[in-house]
């Protein structure tokens, strides 16, 4: 594999499914497989670009592995690939994407391609995507009444709004900087 090949860590306790993921992905990526949470922590290092995590695994849950990845050095994009439906507990998890099993070959390839692309975005934009994805998941899984009653969901929306404002502010600053460069170049204002 060439040096520019992205590294994908597949964390899945069902060996047949882990093998399927690895077989599909190894055509384009360097793939590591861990069959439980403890193996995942051992297999993870800062060279991992994308991690696909199951939520319910022996020895260490996916949410704990996710916390380990976020706390460790590196810039790994994390997608939860799980049979567990999203609930309000996902708000604090900090994943980049969340996909329900079963996952087709095309869905898997598309998911990893998305994760690799998102790694190129700055932290503010990645944070915005994470929050927006989490809100969208909850909106598809919860009733309007459940969402209205949830303080966690309200905090999520407030945080999403704050990241939106930050992105808009940085975009305006970039436009002002470009305008400043044009004027400094002697071009008309």
Among 104, 120, 136, the domain boundary falls at: 120
CA distances from 189 to 170, 172, 178, 183 (A): 22, 17, 12, 6
CATH number for 86: 3.40.50.2300
Last residue of a domain, one of 120, 146, 168: 120
Tokens 């049979």 locate to 83
pLDDT tens-digit series, residues 16-53: 999 999 999 999 999 999 999 999 999 999 999 999 99
Q: pTM (2 decimals)?
A: 0.76
Count Cβ neighbours within 10 Å for each residue of 124-153 and write b for 16 or more, e otherwise: eebbbbbbebbbebbeeebeeeebeebeeb
Our count of domains for the chain comes to 2
The pLDDT, as a whole number, for residue 3 is: 55
pLDDT level of residue 169 (50, 70, 90 thresholds): confident
Quick one: 104 and 137 in the same domain? no
70 and 163 co-located in one domain? no
Average confidence (pLDDT) over 172-184: 46
Residues 85 and 141 placed together within one structural domain of the fold: no
- pLDDT reading at 78 higher than 50: yes
Q: What is the pLDDT of residue 88?
A: 84
């Amino acid at each position: 594999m060439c040096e520019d090949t992205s590294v994908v860590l597949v964390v899945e306790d069902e060996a047949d499914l882990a093998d399927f993921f690895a077989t599909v992905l190894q055509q384009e990526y360097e793939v590591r497989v861990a069959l439980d949470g403890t193996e995942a922590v051992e297999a993870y290092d800062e060279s991992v670009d994308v991690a696909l995590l199951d939520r319910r695994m022996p020895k260490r849950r996916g949410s704990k592995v996710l916390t380990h990845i976020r706390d460790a050095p590196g810039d790994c994009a994390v997608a939860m690939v799980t049979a567990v439906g999203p609930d309000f507990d996902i708000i604090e998890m900090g994943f980049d994407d969340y996909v329900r099993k079963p996952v087709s070959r095309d869905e898997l390839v598309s998911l990893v391609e998305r994760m690799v692309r998102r790694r190129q975005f700055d932290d503010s934009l990645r944070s915005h995507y994470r929050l927006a994805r989490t809100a969208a998941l909850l909106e598809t899984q919860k009733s309007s009444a459940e969402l209205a009653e949830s303080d966690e969901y309200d905090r999520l929306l407030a945080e999403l709004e704050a990241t939106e404002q930050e992105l808009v502010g940085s975009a305006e600053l970039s436009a002002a900087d470009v305008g400043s460069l044009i004027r400094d170049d002697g071009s008309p204002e």
